[in-house]
Amino acid sequence: MKKEETTVLVLFHSKGGTTYKLATAIARGVEKQEGVKAVLKQVPPINAPENLESKAFASVPYATPEELAQYDGIAFGSPIHFGGTTADMRLFLEGTLNLWSEHWLEGEPATVFMAAGGGAARETAILSVWHTLAVHGMVLVPTGMRGTAEMDKSITQGNTVFGTTTLAAMPGSERPSESELYLAELQGEALAKVAKALAPLRHKAPTPTPPAKAPEESINPVEQRLQELGVQLPVLPEPVGNYVPFTRSGNLVFINQVALKEGKVLHPGVIGQDLTTEQAKEATRQTMLNVLAVLKSATNNDLSRVKQVVQLTGYLNTPIGYTRHAELMNVASDLAVAVFGEKGKHARAALGASSIPVNSPVEIQAVFEVE
């Protein structure tokens, strides 16, 4: 008889990325248990952190409270904010009311890990999440004294007997430290072990179906993603010559844009001479937003019709000898992937130009495949 795979959700909220790093270590630990698969998801943020698209966790999918019952175990991770979990994770947990009244999470193993700054209230912060999980009747998996013998004791570590933390504000060492990541892996492995053992005993919940939405209320997934990223597309830039904002040939759409913002070039001039790298990145982001605004018009206001971001070519107004083109174009590439996920992955070229129309520091040529 084919054995069903045990699946553990590693669910995190992160603003700066530290909790995400712990979450990936937890997931690695989970998968060390044979036959256990880790699924990494994040809590939808109340307010997207600034420049979310440049964060390593930007493309990690969002979880819904309803799906928690489908897993054989869950690791919950959050930064510590004022001695507790973040408002974002708290809001997500508030959304589990229906699961609680239907007893869906009873007997499901759970563990908690957190990213701290200095470590204020880190143990009580983990316990504050435990309280909620206990109300659900979940089986709490602590870390105990796991890994303490092997830990590097020359620096303060974020270990607690309840779950792993990291002390991100400790000066002089990279955080999470090697030892903290090691403990997180052990924690993931411990959860996976319990999840695997209990999976056959727990009733497996059918996939809960979220309440059906009337078709007119259904949200376009790409628009929703833009909202989550806090991205507002600019007003469609007007052509400044005898050309059109885009052309379509078959299923391919071709777009060229410069760094115009509200009718003026954002940070005009030569990169590295008239503008800093940071300003050049802002200009590149603005250019890519202009490309997306045109693309929206090319898809009759329905960006979910984009099948693939095919190619991006970035021309950067740079002096001879300049070499950081790729770093600047990453801003455009990261935005494409953050908005379109897998479909956002593209081929790319980035090159220097001695001047660009209207003294823009950047021009992007983009090719998209659409339905």
Ligand X SMILES: Cc1cc2nc3c(=O)[nH]c(=O)nc-3n(C[C@H](O)[C@H](O)[C@H](O)COP(=O)(O)O)c2cc1C
Residues in contact with ligand X by CB under 6 A are: 14-19, 79-83, 115-122, 168
Alpha-carbon gap, residue 159 to 166, rounded angstroms:
8
Which CB sits closer to ligand X, 49 or 107? 49
According to DSSP, the residues that pair with 254 across neighbouring strands are 247, 367
For residue 35, give both structure tokens: 């036959």
CB of 246 to ligand X, least distance (A): 38
CB within 8 A of 117, min separation 6: which ones? 80, 167, 168, 169
Angle between helices 325-340 and 221-229 in degrees, nearest 10: 130
- Choice between 79 and 163, CB closer to ligand X: 79
Shortest Å, Cβ 25 to ligand X: 13
Least CB distance to ligand X at residue 66 (A): 25
**Which residues, listed in sequence order, are joined to residue 350 by a DSSP beta bridge?**
314
State the minimum distance, in angstroms, from the CB of residue 154 to ligand X.
Answer: 21
By C-beta, is 110 or 116 nearer to ligand X? 116
Distances (CA, A) of 56 to 62, 228, 302, 337: 14, 16, 27, 11
d(CA 293, CA 236): 6
Query: Distance between CA 102 and CA 80 in Å, rounded?
Result: 29
How near is the Cβ of 128 to ligand X at its closest, in Å? 11
Minimum CB separation from ligand X for residue 19, in Å? 3
The DSSP-derived string for 226-244 is: HHHHT--PPPPPPPSSSS-
Decide whether 82 or 276 has the Cβ nearer to ligand X: 82
Nearer to ligand X, 118 or 221 (CB): 118
**Which residue lies nearer to ligand X by CB, 84 or 268?**
84
